[in-house]
A = this chain, B = another copy of it.
Amino acid sequence: MTRKPAKAAIAQATSRAPEADEKAAAPASNRATRTAERRAAIVDAAMEEFIARGFAATRLDDIAKRAGVAKGTIYLHFKDKESMFEELVRTVIVPVVARLNALPPPTGPVRDLVEAFANNFLKEVINTRRGDLVRLIVAEGPRFPSVADFYYREVVSRGMTGMRALIELGIARGEIHEKNLARFPQILIAPAMIAVIWQSLFAQHAPLDAQEMLRVHLDLIFGERRTT
């Protein structure tokens, strides 16, 4: 909801800044930097706790302790628990979307493009905190319409559009034969989503070679791989 105006000071970037390399454990020179670092620490801690316990069961005391701040400090950055959760999702997802939008331009075989995307997804999402975050969104989405809306607009909708474009390109170039696939880009994504969920729930029962599964899935769509 209320998007606290970002402290204004952050923009300063203070001239001879000691270059606080992201969330480095550096001494932290000025106020603006410290404030930003604290916020980042709170976001990180909140993400861990929410992923581990879900929204309702997470205690703000635990987040504060993990972030190394007092509980009151959280309320200097976030209006309340709900806004914190919502802003947390935005904060974590936005950079991911930005990176996905920076995919290489469509040169070379479509299969290579999709494979690059899959490898990227493997490295950046599956088996990372971001993967857990996706599961968390699935878990809490129905109770946080604003989160579900945001996720749909920023990730699902864009992803679908991008995938559809790739599929149509593949069809136009004769790499993909199933014409109707463009109507359901979900089919292309589905195994990747399943991999995310599998790792959270069943990895200990039956480890899943996600990379190999995605490869087989691409074989299914593009036909057997040419090399190796």
Q: Interface segment, A20-28, A64-72, A109-117, A184-192?
A: A184-192
Q: Which residue of B lies closest to A141 (CB)?
A: B201
List, in ascending order, chain B residues with CB within 8 A of A197's CB.
138, 193
Instruction: For A178, give its contact among B202, B212, B219 (CB under 8 Å).
Output: B219
User: Measuring CB to CB, which residues of chain A are less than 8 angstroms from any residue of chain B?
Assistant: 52-57, 135, 137-143, 148-149, 151-152, 156-157, 178, 180-181, 183-184, 186-187, 189-191, 193-194, 197-198, 200-202, 205-206, 208, 212-213, 216-217, 219-221, 224
Q: How far is the CA of A56 from the CA of B219 in the complex (A)?
A: 42
The answer to whether B53 touches A143 (Cβ under 8 A) is: yes
Interchain nearest-CB distance for A224 vs B (Å): 8
For the complex with contacts A135-B139, A142-B200, A186-B198, 13 further pairs of A-B residues with Cβ separation under 8 Å are A52-B142, A54-B56, A55-B57, A56-B56, A56-B57, A135-B142, A178-B220, A184-B213, A184-B217, A186-B191, A190-B190, A190-B191, A193-B193
The answer to whether B152 touches A183 (Cβ under 8 A) is: no
Looking at A200, A202, A208, the one whose CB has the most chain B CB atoms below 10 A away is: A202
Could you tell me the dominant secondary structure of chain A's interface residues?
Answer: helix
In the complex, the 5 A-B pairs of residues with the closest C-beta atoms, listed nearest first: A139-B139, A190-B190, A56-B56, A56-B57, A180-B216
The answer to whether B200 touches A141 (Cβ under 8 A) is: yes
The oligomer's copy count stands at: 2
The answer to whether B186 touches A194 (Cβ under 8 A) is: yes
Q: Which residue of B lies closest to A191 (CB)?
A: B190
List, in ascending order, chain B residues with CB within 8 A of A148's CB.
201-202
List, in ascending order, chain B residues with CB within 8 A of A180's CB.
216, 219
Q: How far is the CA of A77 from the CA of B217 in the complex (A)?
A: 46
The answer to whether A220 touches B221 (Cβ under 8 A) is: yes
Q: How far is the CA of A137 from the CA of B53 in the complex (A)?
A: 14
The answer to whether A183 touches B53 (Cβ under 8 A) is: no
A-B contact pairs, 8 of them (CB 8 A): A54-B54, A54-B56, A148-B201, A178-B220, A186-B191, A187-B217, A189-B194, A190-B193
Q: How far is the CA of A224 from the CA of B187 in the complex (A)?
A: 16
List, in ascending order, chain B residues with CB within 8 A of A143's CB.
53-54, 57
List, in ascending order, chain B residues with CB within 8 A of A151's CB.
201
